[in-house]
Structure formats: C-alpha cells, structure tokens
Amino acid sequence: MFRRNLDLLLVVGLALAGLLAGLLTGLYPIIRGIFSIPLLIALPGYALTAALIPDRQSLGRTERTVLGVGMSIVLVILAGLLLNLLPVGITNVTMSVSLAVFSLVASAIGLVRRRGQRDQDPATDLDGPEVGDIPEAVAGRRRERPNGYGPEFLALAVILTVAAVFVGVLGAVRAPSTQFTQFWLLTGSDPNVIQVGIRDEEGQQMQYRIEVETQGQVLRSTEIDLGQGEDTLQTIKLPALTGGLAATVTARLFRIDQPGAPAYRTTLIWRYPAKA
C-alpha cells in the first residue's frame, strides 16, 4: 500500500513544505523557491488528477505530467479569481494556504479512491514492439546499441546547457550599454526652493560644473565629482521674484573635461509671481 501511494504521500509532504516556504518570507529566496514553486505548478494538479482518476493504469506518466502541471496552473487561475473576491485578495498567505489545503484534500480523496487497486506497474520490454510500430522498427531497435554512455551524455548535455546559459547571461551583463548623465531640476513644496540632481551613468568618474541662474543672476556655480552610479542632489533657495512677470530658472550642467563646449545638459522651470 505504501509503495502504491508513495506519489500521493510525496505530494502531501511537498505541499506542507511548500506551504511553509510560502509563509516564511524570511527564507533564503532559492530555498523558498525550490519548495514553493511545486506547490503552484505541480502538486494541486497532480493531486486533482489522482482524486478524479485514481486508477494509475488509466494514465501514462506523460499524460499525468501534462495534466498535473496543466491543472495546477488552471487551479491557480481559478483560486486567484476566487481570492480576488476577498478583501485580502491574492497574497502569499492566501494563495499558498488555499493551494496546500486543496492538494491535501485532493490527495486524501485520491488515497481513499485508490484502495483495492493493484500495486505494480506492468513490466515492459524496452526493446519490444509498441503500438504503431512497423515490424522493421523492432528489428532496428534491437540492432541499435547506442546507450553505452547514456548517463554520461546526458550529464554532458546538462553541462553544455549550463554553459549556454552562462554565455548568454554573461554576454547580456557585459554588453555595451548607453552611457549618459541624468540631470534634473524640480521645485519642492516651497516654490522658492529648487532641487538640482545629477546622476553619473557614464561608466567612469566624471567632473561636472553646475550653473543655476535666474533673471540674469547666477545663483550657483559649483564643481562636482561623481563616480559611476553615484548621484547628488543640491537644494538652492531662490531670491524673490522681481518685476511682477513670470521668469525662468535655468540649470546647466557642464563637463569639466570639455571646456568651452555648450552645456552638456540643460533644464528649466518657470516661476510665477504670487497671486494677490
């Protein structure tokens, strides 16, 4: 009996492990992922298949795999639609609890419905004829002996696949990317205070000069050194607006290594006289 139901007992164990992984948000992500992902894409569907079709001879392994994974996704979608009706909605807790409970209940039904069934799988002749085979197939199959190093070749295939992923990821990480500097100018809650920001994404240490001016008056002219990925934010208090007309505040960014060149970046905002 134990052997006959080993698969469903495994489902129960993995569902409980998946539930714990789903609830324990502090777990290391890889560990959490390894235990929780089967709960979403394999266990509920497999348990449902076992509950609805308890006879293990009715479905082959391939069919059970397709239905197990496919019905798991179906159940996650349906669970999501139902959980969406609750105020709490779809969270790690609601989803993992509902899927784990479903898996356990369906496994229990499967265990009950399997009672009285045969234990063993039918023996198969691995080189013998199969459904749909032509006579030449069996003879050819018996002539073939390609499996001397089957596991070794499979291991090599895995190594090559890992190498392919490594090459692909490395290429994407190291690929040349656009180099640029972000420069911005904003007012805060106080319209008489502006913030000027710079972020260096040039791939190297940069020396900049910021120049902020309004109504012909230079408010600030500062040199700044920034390394790749570093940013800085400067707060500048503006003088009172004179003349009763709208005026601009312009912030320009210059590169020290390009003396005499026009502004590298330019930003501008408008100031308006306060309404009476």
Partner 1 sequence: MSLAAPAEPALETTPIRPAGDGLGWLPRLACITAFGVLLVAMGYSLSRFSVGSFQALYYPGLLLVIGPNVIRLLRPEPRRSERIGLVLILGGALYLVKILHDPLAYTFSDEFIQLRNVLDVIGSNHLFTRNPLLPTTTYYPGLQTVTASIADVSGLGPFPSGIIVLGAGRLILTLGIYIFFEVAGRSPRLAGLAAVLYMANPNFIFFGAQVAYESLALPLAVMVLLIAAARSGIAAFGDPADRSLRRGLTVMAILAMVSIAATHHVTSIALAGFLTAWSVVAYLTRRRREDGPGPADLAVVGIGVVVIWTLTVASPVIGYLGPVVARAVGNGVSLITLQSLPRNLFTSGTGLIAPAWERIASLGSVVFILIGLVFGLIRVWANHRREALIITLALGAMVYPATLILRLTADGAEVANRSSEFLFLAIGFVVVLGVSELWLRGLPSIPRVSILASAATVMIIGGFLIGWPLWARFPGPFELSADSRSVEAEGLATAQWSLAVLGPNNREVADRSQRLLQGTYGHEEAITGYGDTYTDNSVAAADSSCPNLLFLAPAANNCVAVDAKSLIISPTLGPSERAIAFDGDVHYVVFDRRLLTGLPASGIYVERGEVKDGKALDLTDPDLPRNGQPGGAPGSGPGPTQLSQMKKHLDRLYKWDYDPLDLRTLGANPASDPGRTGIDRIYDSGDIQIYDISVWASSK
Please identify, using beta-carbon distances, which residue of 4 and 197 lies nearer to partner 1: 197
Please identify, using beta-carbon distances, which residue of 5 and 72 lies nearer to partner 1: 72
CB atoms within 10 A of CB 270: 9
Q: In sequence order, what DSSP letters do the residues of 6-45 get, joined into one string?
A: HHHHHHHHHHHHHHHHHH-TTS-HHHHHHHHHHHHHTHHH
| Least Å from the CB of residue 219 to partner 1 | 17
Please name the helix (run of DSSP H) or strand (run of DSSP E) that holds residue 136, with its range, or none.
helix 135-143
| Least Å from the CB of residue 267 to partner 1 | 5
| Least Å from the CB of residue 142 to partner 1 | 7
| Least Å from the CB of residue 112 to partner 1 | 14
Please identify, using beta-carbon distances, which residue of 149 and 235 lies nearer to partner 1: 149
| Least Å from the CB of residue 78 to partner 1 | 6
Q: What is the largest CA-CA distance in the chain?
A: 101
From the list 255, 199, 190, 195, the residue with the least C-alpha distance to 220 is: 195
Q: How far apart are CA 264 and CA 276, in angstroms?
A: 39
Query: Dihedral angle at the C-alpha atoms of 64, 67, 69, 72, nearest 10 degrees?
Result: -130
| Least Å from the CB of residue 196 to partner 1 | 11
Please identify, using beta-carbon distances, which residue of 2 and 186 lies nearer to partner 1: 186
Bridge partners (DSSP) listed for residue 271: 247
Q: In sequence order, what DSSP letters do the residues of 177-224 get, joined into one string?
A: ---EEEEEEEE-SSTTEEEEEEEEESSS-EEEEEEEEETTEEEEEEEE
Please identify, using beta-carbon distances, which residue of 2 and 29 lies nearer to partner 1: 29
Q: How far apart are CA 110 and CA 140, in angstroms?
A: 41
| Least Å from the CB of residue 46 to partner 1 | 12
Burial class (CB in 10 A: 0-12, 13-18, 19+), 130: exposed
257-267 burial string, b = 16+ CB within 10 Å, else e? eeeeeeeebeb
Q: How far apart are CA 231 and CA 225, in angstroms?
A: 10
**Is-contact 203 217, C-beta < 8 A?**
no
| Least Å from the CB of residue 35 to partner 1 | 9
Please identify, using beta-carbon distances, which residue of 57 and 258 lies nearer to partner 1: 57
Please identify, using beta-carbon distances, which residue of 2 and 176 lies nearer to partner 1: 176
Please identify, using beta-carbon distances, which residue of 2 and 146 lies nearer to partner 1: 146
